[in-house]
Structure 1
Amino acid sequence: MGTHLTPIIPRLRIGLSGIRGKTLVVDALNAIYQFLALIRRPDGEPLENKERKVTSHLVGLASRFSKLAVDYHCDFIFVFDGPPLPLKQRELAKRRLIREKAEKEMRELLARGEYEKAFSKAVVAVKVDEWVIESSKKLVKLMGWPVVDAPADAEAQAAYMVSKGDAWAVATLDWDALLYGSPRLLRYLTLTGTEWLPSKGVARRLEPELVELEGVLQRLGISRRQLVEIAILVGTDYSEGVKGVGPKKALQLIKRYGSIDQLPRSIREKLAGYEEVLEIFLNPPVKESYSLEFQEPAYDELERFLVDENSFSESRVRTLIERLRIVWGRRSQLTLNGFA
């Protein structure tokens, strides 16, 4: 879920045309959760193969990223989370309880035939298991894009890779990539242009937004360390924050006092151990050595995986393979021209 900083972060709507020709590091689980939440049957249940294994995430990954690649000449690197840091265990336990409650409510609504309300609960009840992770990695690799396993938080690894110049931006909905130091963050990398808001029961129109860290810091008049301290006041995946302190108030406090260390004791004492959280964001564990080999898609194996093993229609997979052939042909031509 990350940190809630939306009210204070300036963003620029760039649309899909703004990502043309870019290489993006995708926070894989962030995208997968979206697909599992939104790609469902009319009764609210996820798509499944013949073995009753969920395939909604595979549909989303195959469709969205092949379309973006062929239409907007994008390349993608997918980064997956590693084992969670100890401080994150409490947040994960809290999310698990929320999911379990939402799933129970969803089942009750489905039994009563209240499908619209059930769908809103399904968005919250999404859970990821080993099958979802491993099948996602397999699909991405068969499509020709590199997969990187982070030692801990995927967004930290993705931010490091963008900082090194291996990609243009981190594609994720969460703000944490900024806290980890990514120069650029791309939100709402989507084809449909809508986002479901469970609390309001409505969908809103979306288009890609670019956030540049340097511009954010200049606009707010703060340092990156101060941005992290604002997030700590609000609450992060590693700490609860201070009750009643939202992004705007946190910004005011940090700008007035300069740092958490200088805050009034009544506030500071509610942030015991915050130094460890600060260190996680400023110096996160990352993998400095990784492979980013873009390979020609394994067309035959991809077809078997999707059609034979996961019940995709042959026509859908033919469309996918046609797109990937165009993408690979384009990349091969660029490579040849580069050596000319």
Structure 2
Amino acid sequence: MGNADLRQLAVLREVSFDDLSGTVAVDAHNWLYRYLTTTVRFTSSHKYTHDGEEVANLIGVVQGLPKFFEHDLSPVFVFDGGVTELKDAEVSDRQAQRERYEEQLEEAREGGDAAEIATLESRTQRLTPTILETTRELLSLLDVPVIEAPAEGEAQASYMARKGAVDYVGSEDYDTLLLGAPLTLRQLTSKGDPELMDFEATLDEHDLTWEQLVDVGILCGTDFNEGVSGIGPKTAVKLVREHGDLWGVLEARDVYVENADRIRELFLHPATTDDYDFDPDLDPDVDAARTYVCEEWGVPEGEVDRGFERIEESVTQTGLDDWL
């Protein structure tokens, strides 16, 4: 999910929540997966209802939303649609890796290794239909807008940011840089202040166009292709500037990247929609959300009390309708 090599090129700076305001389009699957895995590892054992349904996502949502509510950030959650065909290989690889982890998890359980069990449980988490459905319902009760992307959520969120519909994209993926998101807030699921990734500043830093930055990403490797052997991010920048674009580099190196033109288009012109409408002024029904989480899904109140308290406090202190 994203090309971490791009971190070596991205212009990043730590920013204070106190200096941020506006609307952030959150890559829902990315955000939720991170809270899901950390909740599984670091909360108590109450991750399942008495019927055996996973509920760690509900705990994660309640714990994670106050980070927005307590500051001048209005969240809009963008959910993935269909998986791009070219990503099938990566999805297959992840599934195979997850199956290996599941086998290791069974061995750890048989051996009673608590630390290894916790680690492997987080690695085998998946966003099941139930998890996605209950997350959408909880967000709805808290009046947080939900947008359904036609394909990749991060692509839709980046498109909305480029159109000026939102001020930031919220994602841990560096792919938002290749997708042209002007400003990306990272580390929204971590303690402390976030990190701001600046698209235009990155282009200026390396004297590249957007198209050339995508070419650099393809040379290094993306979710849709393996990189060219021996070419790292700094070398890729040098080669693209020297030869003009991806095709010039491939010709000069006498190498081939399968589906290169399609991959380029997936970043420059991804499947997106203008069919979205949302109100950033939120009016969360905390009582209904608490009932949904604790009574309908059986999450112990102690797991979510503080999160709901923080949401209620933020409603009282800021009114939420004054965010923008």
State whether TM-score is above 0.5: yes
C-alpha separation between the residues in 1 aligned to 2:322 and 2:195? 28
Counterpart residue type for residue 22 of structure 1: G
C-alpha separation between the residues in 1 aligned to 2:75 and 2:42? 31
Tell me: CA distance 1:246–1:121, structure 2 relative to 1, closer, same or farther (3 Å). farther
Candidates 261, 283, 299, aligned match of 2:269: 283
The SS at the match of 1:11 is strand
Counterpart residue type for residue 13 of structure 1: E
How far has the Cα of 1:324 moved from its partner?
Answer: 3.5
Tell me: CA distance 1:15–1:333, structure 2 relative to 1, closer, same or farther (3 Å). closer
1:199 is aligned to none
How far has the Cα of 1:251 moved from its partner?
Answer: 1.9
* Contact persistence 1:238–1:277 (CA under 8 A): yes
Summarize deviations over 1:279-320 as a string: whole Å, max 9, x none: 111011111120213442233431221111222334565544
C-alpha separation between the residues in 2 aligned to 1:297 and 1:251? 46
1:74-153 superposed matches below 5 A: 74-153=73-152
1:9-20 superposed matches below 5 A: 9-19=10-20
Gaps of 5+ in 2: none
Answer yes or no: is 1:310 the counterpart of 2:309.
Answer: no
How far has the Cα of 1:232 moved from its partner?
Answer: 0.8
Gaps of 5+ in 1: 194-206
How far has the Cα of 1:148 moved from its partner?
Answer: 0.2
Tell me: CA distance 1:272–1:216, structure 2 relative to 1, closer, same or farther (3 Å). same
How far has the Cα of 1:41 moved from its partner?
Answer: 5.7
C-alpha separation between the residues in 2 aligned to 1:132 and 1:57? 6
C-alpha separation between the residues in 2 aligned to 1:27 and 1:254? 30
Counterpart residue type for residue 84 of structure 2: L
The SS at the match of 1:271 is coil
2:22 is aligned to 22
2:32 is aligned to 32
Aligned-residue CA RMSD in angstroms?
2.5
Tell me: CA distance 1:268–1:210, structure 2 relative to 1, closer, same or farther (3 Å). farther
The SS at the match of 2:274 is coil
**Greater length-normalized contact order (CA 8 Å, ≥ 6 residues apart):** 2
How far has the Cα of 1:213 moved from its partner?
Answer: 0.5
* Contact persistence 1:171–1:185 (CA under 8 A): yes
How far has the Cα of 1:45 moved from its partner?
Answer: 7.0
Answer yes or no: is 1:240 the counterpart of 2:239.
Answer: no
1:200 is aligned to none
Tell me: CA distance 1:117–1:256, structure 2 relative to 1, closer, same or farther (3 Å). farther
Answer yes or no: is 1:270 the counterpart of 2:237.
Answer: no
Answer yes or no: is 1:334 the counterpart of 2:322.
Answer: yes
